[in-house]
Amino acid sequence: MTRLRMRIGLAGGGFIMLLAVAAFTAPFWLRPAVEARASTALGRKVSIGGLAVHVFPVRIVATDIVVAGGADTPPLATVAEIAATLDLAPTLRLHLPAIPEIAITRMDVQAVQNPSGGTNYTLNLPPDSGGPTLAIGVVRFTDSHAHLLMPQLGADLTLALQTDATAQSGIIGELSGVYQRQKVTGHVKAGGVLSLRDSATPYPVDVLVQSGPSRFSLAGTMVDPLHLRGAKLKVGLKGQDLAGLYPITGIPLPPTTPYDLSSGLDYQAGTLHFSNIAGRLGRSDMQGNLAVDVRPERPVVSGSLLSHKVDLEDMAGFIGSQPGRENTPGQSPAQQQAVVKAEASTRLLPDLPMDIPKIRSADFHVTYHGETIIGDAMPFDSVVAKIDIDDGHIQVTDLRVGVGNGQILGHIDMTPIKEGAEDSTHTLADIHVQNIDVGHMLSKTDLVRGSGTLGGHITLESKGKSLAEILTRGDGHMSLFMAGGDVSSLVIDLSGLHLGEAVLSALGVPDRAPVRCLIADMLLANGVLQTQTVLLDTDKNRTTLDGTIDLRSETIKAELRTQPKHFTIATLATPFAITGRLKSPDFAPEIAELGARSAGAAGLALLFPPAALLATIQLGIGEDNACVSLVKEGQKAR
């Protein structure tokens, strides 16, 4: 027994001496091994200033750790101290290092973007080998911070980290800083650091970020977050303008009214799936499902969106106009001022240019359906469109705007081109107007009188990068026809000139004279719309409009004449001139032209529509109508 005790004592003493020698010599043999292992694990050079081993309990303490950054960027991380406690019993029994706790003190992560756009935080992590790993309990943080500095995004953010006391291995972070010149605050709660590598257990996240009036929330679980193999998350987005999300998402969107949206979020096979989208955009509700494939060089957005009620002013940014109304809820003071300025402007055509390079940064294949169009004096009922964007080539197909039992059908094609050094588009548009019930359309306005059927065809070819530029440089043709109705609704409600009954009387046209036919046939050449035939036929009179609308200057210069079918002194009327800006034209009698009245009347036959319009009239409003008869009558007059 004495000899046995002596052997045990010698063995114990030898082990203690071995630990003491290991502790003393650790800086010489253990530090290089730990540096090499850490560098391999992170794909970055890791250096350790000091390393010590304490015997009872066994603790390995590394100090002054530095994780290298990228080119032209500071180190990714510095850590004052990392202390790991080793549990000898399971280590000796299972031959697997067991570390109940790792304590990290004064860690400072610097995620930085250099002026050329490169970053220091992209890690090339090696694949999981599937072999034995360290058995680690919890990781605790003390006085640790992560700093994100991205000048190109206007981001300077700091995240203060600490261990979650309510969940031993979890992390809590408080976010502060500046993004896009706006103050940012936020709260982050997530699972433990070690759980990031546990692909079998869902990783919990709960994030809330506030930037001015904008808010982003994310809550749920992620599967294997380091490799993004799946997620069950709820996303919330609230802000002033969806266009402001481009620096974060890389998805180009036009300016919008304030939004408040939520959706489910999953990630599978390189694609983000936003399901059950619900919320509001201005005064419009929004529902649907979208998928974003992030694997191609240009992300691909696909899916469908639905609004039960839509205010088209919320979508005005799609045509380069200021979105929203003065009473649109949630607008910032700047947005309200922009709306007031746009409404007060003497300009009518939207002139916000498209950012072609930004549009080319993502592809879209999205359908949209607005079941009911709302808004003051809005004549349209519904809208459906399919939008495809492929490398900046925009196609709007299956465009259908419903008005009662009629519809406006369209196809718009915009191909990106270069005009010198400038990005622009070559635009083709083809629009058909079919069987629009004018009475139904006018019932949406304050002036509810009127009836009749409206149809026609519009074509346009042009170059430009805003709607104003496209129209002011465009060539095309517009033919519109109406059968039935009455003069008062037609002249007052549809022309937009706001003519009163006194003017109608001056024209020699009774207030409620029934309309047999209206034909408006006009050519567009280099932005100037020239009347070919604009003819209003009633039971007793024929009224013509002759002149031009210059879209470049947004001015009109035209003459309106009424000729009685049966001459009487009571119906002898003065021709009227329409001049000035499109948004607020002037209307006045042309006294000097009174003597030329007979010449104008003799020339009425020249303004009758050609027979080539017959097919378009029949397609737009049917074969059996007064306009068909009027065209045939015009051929005899010619």
pLDDT in tens, 49-89: 988 888 777 888 999 999 988 767 788 899 999 998 877 66
Q: Which two tokens stand for residue 591?
A: 């006294």
Please tell me the distance from the alpha carbon of residue 251 to that of residue 366, in angstroms, as a whole number: 13
Residue 440 pLDDT more than 60?
yes
pLDDT tens-place string over residues 118-167: 777 777 666 655 555 556 667 888 889 999 888 877 789 999 988 876 66
Q: What are phi and psi of 350, to 5 degrees?
A: -65, 130
Burial class (CB in 10 A: 0-12, 13-18, 19+), 375: middle
Coil, strand or helix at 451: coil
Mean pLDDT of all residues in 268-292: 93
The amino acid sitting at 234 is K
pLDDT for the residue numbered 119: 77
Please tell me the distance from the alpha carbon of residue 280 to that of residue 383, in angstroms, as a whole number: 17
Mean pLDDT of all residues in 498-520: 59
pLDDT for the residue numbered 191: 79
Question: What residue spans of 170-268 are helical by DSSP H?
Answer: 246-249
pLDDT for the residue numbered 601: 41
Residue 277 pLDDT more than 90?
yes
The amino acid sitting at 414 is M
The residues facing 275 across adjacent strands are: 264
Residue 2 pLDDT more than 80?
no
Please tell me the distance from the alpha carbon of residue 468 to that of residue 261, in angstroms, as a whole number: 32
pLDDT for the residue numbered 368: 96
pLDDT tens-place string over residues 202-250: 888 899 998 877 889 999 988 877 666 778 899 999 999 988 888 777 7
**Percent of the chain at pLDDT above 70?**
73
Please tell me the distance from the alpha carbon of residue 498 to that of residue 437, in angstroms, as a whole number: 21
Residue 270 pLDDT more than 90?
no
pLDDT for the residue numbered 30: 77
Q: Which of 467, 391, 455, 458 minimizes the C-alpha distance to 427?
A: 467
How many C-beta atoms surround the C-beta of residue 144 within 10 A? Answer: 22
Mean pLDDT of all residues in 449-461: 81
Q: Where are the beta strands (DSSP E) in 71-116?
A: 77-85, 98-112
The answer to whether 475 and 482 have CB atoms below 8 angstroms apart is no
| Of 405 and 600, more confident | 405
Please tell me the distance from the alpha carbon of residue 33 to that of residue 602, in angstroms, as a whole number: 105
The answer to whether 223 and 208 have CB atoms below 8 angstroms apart is no
pLDDT for the residue numbered 576: 76
Query: Crossing angle for the helix pair 614-621 and 626-637, nearest 10 degrees?
Result: 170
Q: What are phi and psi of 191, to 5 degrees?
A: -70, 180
Q: Which residues, in sequence order, are CB contacts of 440 under 8 Å at separation 6+?
A: 403, 404, 405
pLDDT-derived band at 567 (thresholds 50, 70, 90) equals low
| Of 181 and 306, more confident | 306
Question: In angstroms, what is the C-alpha Rg of the chain?
Answer: 37
pLDDT for the residue numbered 194: 62
pLDDT-derived band at 449 (thresholds 50, 70, 90) equals low
Cis peptide before 202 (omega within 30 of 0): no
Please tell me the distance from the alpha carbon of residue 141 to that of residue 123, in angstroms, as a whole number: 21
> Beta 98-112 vs 144-150: how paired, if at all?
parallel
Cis peptide before 151 (omega within 30 of 0): no
